[in-house]
Amino acid sequence: MSDLKFTRIIATLGPASQEEDQIRSLIRSGADCFRLNFSHSDGPGLEPYIKKVRQISESEGKYIPLLADIQGPKLRVGHLPGEGAELLDDQLFTITHRKVEGSAEQVHSPYELLSKDLQIGHRVLLADGSIEMVVESIDGEDVRCRVLHGGLLTSNKGMNLPDTEVSAATLTDKDRRDLQFIGKSDIDLVAVSFVRRASDIRDARDILGDSRIPVLAKLERPEALNQLNEILEEADGVMVARGDLGVEIEFERVPFVQKQILQRASVRGKWAIVATEMLRSMVDHSRPTRA
Q: What pairing do the DSSP bridges indicate for beta strands 159-160 and 189-192?
A: unpaired
Catalytic residue among 197, 205, 218, 221: 218
**Span 251-275, pLDDT tens digits:** 889 999 999 999 999 999 999 999 8
What pLDDT was estimated at residue 240? Answer: 95
Tell me the mean pLDDT in the region 222-245. Answer: 94
- Catalytic residue list contains 96: no
Q: What is the pLDDT of residue 14?
A: 84
Question: Of 76, 184, 202, 280, which residue is the catalytic one?
Answer: 76
Confidence of residue 1 (pLDDT cuts 50, 70, 90): very low
Catalytic residue among 35, 197, 242, 270: 35
**Res 144: pLDDT:** 98
Q: Is 35 a catalytic residue?
A: yes
Domains of the chain in start order, with CATH, are: 10-73+169-283 (3.20.20.60), 85-160 (2.40.33.10)
Q: What's the pLDDT at 198?
A: 97
**Known catalytic residue at 8:** no
**Please, what is the average pLDDT of the chain?**
92
pLDDT > 50? residue 203 = yes
Query: Stretch 68-87: mean pLDDT, rounded?
Result: 94
Q: What is the pLDDT of residue 250?
A: 86
The pLDDT, as a whole number, for residue 243 is: 84
Q: Is 270 a catalytic residue?
A: no
